[in-house]
Amino acid sequence: MVVPFHVAEMLKRVKRRLAQDSDTARFAPRHGDLAVLRPRRRTSEETIADYHDRLGLSDAASDALADAETRAGASRYAANIENMIGTVKLPVGVIGPLRVNGLHAAGDYPVPLATTEAALVASYGRGALAANRAGGITTAVLYEGVLRTPAFVLDDLLSAGQFVDWVVENVAALQAAAEATTRYGRLVSVEPVIDTNIVFLLCRYTTGDAGGQNMVTIATDALCRHIAAHCPVRLRHWYVEGNFSGDKKASTLGTLTGRGRKVSASVVLPERVVESALRTSIDEMLAYGRVANLGALLSGQLGAQAHYANGLAALYIATGQDAACVAESAVGFTRMERHDGGLFASVTLPNILVGTVGGGTGLPTQSACLELMGLKGTGHAAALAEIAAALCLCGELSIVAAMAAGHFAVAHERLARQR
């Protein structure tokens, strides 16, 4: 048997470390009292100072984590975090304005991106330049619905069937119970999935202009409690989420049916734009695209795309979205082909989870970024989702061009290492 190089190298490191320190007691459990910080929601200048004292922070570290402005406005963060000790500052760049010709987003939008990765903003900005020279990006929200999937454990398969029959007969009452918890959420479908004695209910909601994660959790909890109180079939257990929904996970279900908003974005770049803005040719981009699609297929990628996560993470952080949702949002499909003498490029992302109210959207800098885009407050979530997809298309255009022309490493050398 051949031991892979990385495994053999790791074993050598472990052996060297044990040879230097033969005291294997370091791996044994250590018992004793340890004062752990207890979660508390109250956030103020005084609570921040108390935490800093208890943690033994130096004056320099304390000032870096919580400057005077953060301390004075600490209460505004109370709804978003527990045990607050400060804020983390990230550089925010901007691309565009990016021209979007969409069903909901129709205009020229500066797009803020919060990142520590040099070359990222430049790359997406180059894609935006190319798209703008072609007249902008066409976008549309195709589908909407945030999933929560409660699970119910019954005695046997027959009981599971009887349970599903009861749910179907009482779906209106379940809808009323769920929607009584929210002003904006609507339960639009309930789909049962049986696995012997366990039933999952795929509960799909529209969530207005909020991302809606907490909204659908609270609504589904009310739905489950109504079932537990009224269903004549005996339930052994129930759980508000059965890990079926794809929440913060890339999943086949999300890829096929979507979670959040499903959005498509497309553009047709004339040959001259590809050559002038992207510094390559259509044929070179398509040749690389064929290899990249094969790589996606052979590696088992969910979808086929280059780097949606880069743009989405930067946009989500800048605008106060739930950054962990990038795990599912960054699933989708990129297409490139010749079309009317130009390069047709499109992206379809089935799981964009964004909002313009609630969550972190009301925090100072995140609110300012949404205001910069003209998308602060109600009525703008669908537009933000379309801009997110358009942003991803910009990133795909730029990185495919860079790979095709052999510029990828050179750009990172120049913009990141040698800056």
CA distance 131 to 129: 5
Rounding to the nearest 10 degrees, give the CA dihedral for residues 250, 255, 258, 263: 110
- Distance, in Å, from the CA atom of 173 to the CA atom of 378, rounded to the nearest integer, reads 29
Average pLDDT over residues 59-73: 95
Confidence of residue 1 (pLDDT cuts 50, 70, 90): low
- pLDDT exceeds 90 at position 40: no
360 and 80 Cβ atoms separated by less than 8 Å = yes
Q: What is the pLDDT of residues 322-364, one digit of tens each?
A: 999 999 999 999 999 999 889 999 999 999 999 999 999 999 9
> Looking at the structure, do residues 218 and 258 belong to the same domain, yes or no?
no
Total residues found in the chain within this entry: 419
Q: What is the CATH number for 123? A: 3.90.770.10
Claim to verify: residue 298 and residue 155 sit in the same structural domain: no
Task: Decide which of 184, 208, 239 is a domain's last residue.
Answer: 239
pLDDT, tens digit (0-9, with 9 covering 90-100), for 87-123: 999 999 999 999 999 999 999 999 999 999 999 999 9
Final residue belonging to a domain, choices 89, 109, 126? 89
> Phi first, then psi: what are they for 83, rounded to 5°?
55, 45
Same domain, 288 and 404: yes
Q: Which of 190, 163, 191, 154 is nearest to 174 (CA)?
A: 190
The CATH number of whichever domain residue 163 belongs to comes to 3.30.70.420
Residues 270 and 358 in one domain: yes
What is the spatial distance between Cα 196 and Cα 159, in angstroms, rounded to a whole number? 9
226: exposed, middle or buried (C-beta count within 10 Å: 0-12, 13-18, 19+)? Answer: middle
Cβ atoms of residues 285 and 156 within 8 Å: no
Map residue 356 onto helix, strand or coil: coil
Catalytic residues: 117, 322, 412
Band (412; pLDDT cuts 50, 70, 90): confident
Q: Return the closest-CA partner of residue 223 out of 271, 264, 170.
A: 170
Which alpha helices (H) appear in 246-380, and where do they start and end? 252-257, 271-277, 282-299, 308-319, 326-329, 364-373
Residue 44 tokens read as: 């103020």
Q: Is residue 268 part of a domain?
A: yes
32 band by pLDDT with thresholds 50, 70 and 90: confident
- Identify the band that residue 22 occupies on the pLDDT scale cut at 50, 70 and 90: low
Whether the predicted pLDDT of 182 surpasses 70: yes
Q: Is residue 27 a part of any domain in this protein?
A: no
pTM > 0.85: yes or no = yes
Q: What's the average model confidence in pLDDT over 60-71?
A: 95
Matching residue, tokens 């990828």? 408
Number of compact structural domains in the chain = 3
In DSSP notation, 383-407 reads: HHHHHHHHHHHHHHHHHHHHHHHT-
| Count of CB atoms situated within 10 Å of the CB of 94 | 16
Contacts of residue 218, defined as CB under 8 A and 6 or more positions apart, other chains included, come to 181, 182
How far apart are the C-alpha atoms of 292 and 300, rounded to whole Å? 12
pLDDT for res 14: 79
Would 14 be classed as within a structural domain? no
Domain span at residue 209?
Answer: 150-239
Please check whether residues 193 and 122 belong to one and the same domain.
no
Measured between alpha carbons, how far is residue 161 from residues 140, 157, 167, 280 in Å?
39, 6, 10, 59
DSSP string, 359-380: TTTTSHHHHHHHHHHT--STT-
